[in-house]
Structure 1
């Protein structure tokens, strides 16, 4: 296969990965990592060596952990029920079909509805919904930062 096509594929994977950080249907960090690994492989790991690849893999693992930890901390801090957690997950999936606003708002709605169904308390449901949503947003922000760090390590390794 032509190396120009491979470099293009590497770039497309990284770009799709950045989109996947916001769109839960795409495995964002995994796509960024795949694009970086492809770029390193194309060059026979000469410019992007094993040290850089190892750093990128560690950053990817941190990003995956942030996905779960941030949302759980937000929910746990608010004392969310299991129904609220399930509601946030269902809201996230439903939000995919509602565009960018749905992606950001539906996890909050799902968590609030789940909490309301569990405890029948409007105020508590809203509090849990907001806390869970803040956790999801913090996790998304952390994944963006880590993804850009991964890309930064890759670009620096390519250039030097």
Structure 2
């Protein structure tokens, strides 16, 4: 493996971590690594890998919104609840780096649902649905990113 391929791999690895941690634009970094490699390599295989990566990430982006939206709709969690959770999560990220984001996201969703529903059990049920939906989005996005990275790894190993 060349130094250039190691650089591309490092970019993709940071992207995969970004998908899981949800602080960095993970799939965009994975695509950037594949794009960098494809534009430098300029072979038919490289362009095919780039196409596979773009399709996999695009399908993951669409899939995560469809699946998460379905779960949230089923649980009757409104979008404004997620906005409150997201806003508090961002604040939490800066107050308590790394752990503040998920903690204050959950707290924000719970508080918004508690104010809306005026029932702790229903608010907690909505919060769990939002957490599940967030988990689904991470898994679907990670699957798309892994397909992109897997196609790249296969191409590098075979060439």
Bin of the TM-score, shorter chain as denominator length: 0.7 to 0.9
Q: How far is the alpha carbon of 1:119 from its aligned partner?
A: 2.6
2:82 to 82, 85, 88: 85
Please say if residues 29 and 147 of structure 1, whose CA atoms lie closer than 8 Å, have aligned partners that are also in contact.
yes
Q: Give deviations 1:75-102, integer Å, cap 9, x for gaps.
A: 2121013331212322432343334433
Gaps of 5+ in 2: none
Checking the alignment, whether the CA contact within 8 Å between 1:23 and 1:103 is kept in structure 2 is: no
Shift of the alpha carbon at 1:23?
3.1
For structure 1, the residue ranges without an aligned partner over 5 or more in a row are none
Q: Which residue of 2 aligns with 1:55?
A: 52
TM-score when scaled to structure 2? 0.83
> 3-state SS of the aligned residue for 2:58?
helix
Cα deviation, residue 37, structure 1: 1.1
Residues 113-132 of structure 1 aligned to structure 2 (within 5 Å) = 113-132=111-130
**Structure 1 residues 113, 69: closer, same or farther in 2, change over 3 A?**
farther
Q: Post-superposition shift, 1:108? A: 2.4
TM-score (norm 1): 0.83
The Cα RMSD (Å) is 2.2
Q: How many residues align?
A: 156
Counterpart among 142, 145, 151 of residue 144 in structure 1: 142
Deviations 1:101-123 (A, max 9, x none): 33444332221111122232222
